[in-house]
Amino acid sequence: MTDREIHPPPVIVTLPSHINAANAEQATEQISTAFTPGVTIVIADLTSAVCRDRSAIRHLLKAHRKAAARGGRVRFVIRPGGPLQRITGFADIHPLLAVYPTLQQAITGRAPKPPQRACAVRRPLSPHRHL
């Protein structure tokens, strides 16, 4: 048995370039219907999406929850610096979703290393110091 037979490749769903309240339910259905028998990972390609509607984000979360309830996973590809990334970052959504900056990273499942933040050097308080 090959690795591909054990772990089938993810299915890629390219979503429309404009996602709004009117077509967000359809985008959710596209993701859900991609979970055919044997498919465990669906990649929602949003790299060309221009979305400024928060209700659309709720629908993406709905697709994520539906997949998780069935034992599947959705990987979202969201272009760094784009409008969709600003909305999801502002809404603090990223910790809930598997978000990747490129389609290739979503396919492999390897996210880039987060940027290293410089830690402030903290000096211990002196026992003689009064607060």
Instruction: Tell me the pTM.
Output: 0.75
Residue 103 has pLDDT above 50, yes or no: yes
Domains of the chain (ranges; CATH) run 3-108 (3.30.750.24)
- Say how many C-beta atoms besides its own lie within 10 A of residue 95's C-beta: 6
pLDDT in tens, 19-64: 887 888 898 999 999 999 999 999 999 888 877 677 777 888 888 9
Give the Cα separation of 31 and 64 in Å (integer): 9
Give the Cα separation of 76 and 84 in Å (integer): 11
* N-to-C CA span, the chain: 67
Residue 84 has pLDDT above 90, yes or no: no
Give the Cα separation of 56 and 76 in Å (integer): 13
Give the Cα separation of 24 and 14 in Å (integer): 13
